[in-house]
Amino acid sequence: MIPFPNVIAGILIGIVSDTWLARLIAPFIWGVVFCIYTSIARQDERDAFITNMEIHDKKVKLGMSHVEAFYFVEYMTASFTSLFFSVISGFIKGLFLSSG
């Protein structure tokens, strides 16, 4: 599931940013902000993920702990979702501004 705040952040980044470099870097900063939000507001999802991993005795690749794996997935999902939408909205913004 793609969290809706990441889509909104990507669209806003694409609209507000004036350069492509900003559209490419800002989503990765958003990923950190989203992880901080997740650690504060979505502790129940983190705990459910960790409990599920421990109950089913699932191993995490790359030698990460279950908590690190949870935040890795959250960071990557937030960053790449907002990156996708920032590029698309920036492209659409460029089409409308250059045609006028």
**pLDDT of res. 55:** 87
Structurally, the chain folds into a number of domains equal to: 1
DSSP-H helix ranges across the chain: 4-16, 20-41, 43-55, 66-99
| pTM for the whole structure | 0.85
Domain span at residue 84 reads 4-99
Cα 21–chain centre separation: 18
**pLDDT of res. 36:** 95
Instruction: Pick out the chain residues at pLDDT < 70.
Output: 1-2, 98-100
**pLDDT of res. 99:** 55
Please list, in sequence order, all residues whose beta carbon lies within 8 angstroms of the beta carbon of residue 88, skipping any fewer than 6 positions away.
10, 14
